Amino acid sequence: MSDINVVLTIGLAEELVNRIRELDPRLNVTVLSSAQRQAYRGGHPIWFGYDERQDGASESPEEAKSSLEAILGDTEVILSTYVIYPDLFSLAPRLRWVQLTSAGAENIIDSDFLREGVTVTTASGIHAVPVGEFVLGIMLAFAKGLHKAVRGQMEHEWLSYLPSELQGKTAGILGMGAIGSQIARYAKAFGMRVIATRRSAERPLAGEQSGFVDVDELVPPSQLNRILSACDYLVIAVPLTAETRHMIGEAELRAMKPSAVLINISRGAVVDEKMLVRALKEGWIAGAGLDVFEQEPLPKDSELWGMENVIVTPHVSGATPLYVERLVELFCDNLRRYLAGEPLRNVVDVKRGY
């Protein structure tokens, strides 16, 4: 096998870049300059957790775009954010594999290169621990009234309220991938009953028959209402596909308990946001913990900002100081597989949508 040109489109610490370079002598690893990274994503903002320090390059935007396109011409493998260069496929005829830094692939599911034999893999799995902890934090915040206490503190008001417990409550989890499984593990550790859906489930399964030791009952998506009517906390952990877009709308929100809390850490468009606002205002459900929204950043005029029964966070549930290290670990494992001709982890299935 000849040299394999690998391009990194995010800023990484030198130690992590060297970890990739030292994996195999056949790898020719190029780290885009800060100007080239800007050109690659068209000025689109990027997650602050990446190393985006300026590298001293004096390229103009035009020069950066030109040099970037020259690099892409010989590229076989790219480590990329979900922001894909618009003409990537036509400019990179040798491209064979794109490793995304995100768990979702909804932004590129209809891209030409997905239909032209280029393999795309996601970073699914590296978010499980931070998202799982985040969800339990939201549950605890609502159970213990911490969202009320913070507002009271800001207004210098001594509030009286009765906190509740998680033990004995029911967590309903939509989606049992790596994140859903981790949430179930944490919820079970708090003494909660866990019921869940999984796309591949064909019939209701109890306990260990489901294949998930932390799930009391697993049901197919067709029996979603069974979960909605039973859960105290509904956690949405499904990918965004044509099938899941607005899967939680008026009928589903009305099917929930008035005392239930909805927690969305997947994608905003899985929930009909306008209907959610109405449900929260009219008391169909008790509250919502939202890390994702149909439009991000959340518009300043959104009613969600000022609602006392809502916790708003800026799409950070999967963030952690260990994110990039885990990403590189996954990428290196997939590089080993690629070099050995073995199946890659987290390959995107166009028909499935993720």
Residue 155 annotated in active site: no
Name residue 310's beta-bridge partners. Answer: 288
Residue 156 annotated in active site: no
**From the candidates 37, 127, 198, 267, which is the catalytic residue?**
267
**From the candidates 19, 41, 245, 315, which is the catalytic residue?**
315
- HEC profile for the chain? CCCEEEEECCCCCHHHHHHHHCCCCCEEEEECCHHHHHHHCCCCCCCCCCCCCCCCCCCCHHHHHHHHHHHHCCCCEEEECCCCCCCHHHHCCCCCEEEECCCCCCCCCCCHHHHCCCEEECCCCCCHHHHHHHHHHHHHHHHCCHHHHHHHHHCCCCCCCCCCCCCCCEEEEECCCHHHHHHHHHHHHCCCEEEEECCCCCCCEEHHHHCCCCCCEEECHHHHHHHHCCCCEEEECCCCCCCCCCCECHHHHHHCCCCCEEEECCCHHHECHHHHHHHHHHCCCCEEEECCCCCCCCCCCCHHHHCCCEEECCCCCCCCCCHHHHHHHHHHHHHHHHHHCCCCCCECCCCCCC
Residue 278 annotated in active site: no
**From the candidates 243, 282, 296, 342, which is the catalytic residue?**
296
Q: How far is residue 120 from each of residues 6, 88, 97, measured CA to CA in Å?
A: 14, 13, 6
- The residues carrying an active-site annotation are 267, 296, 315
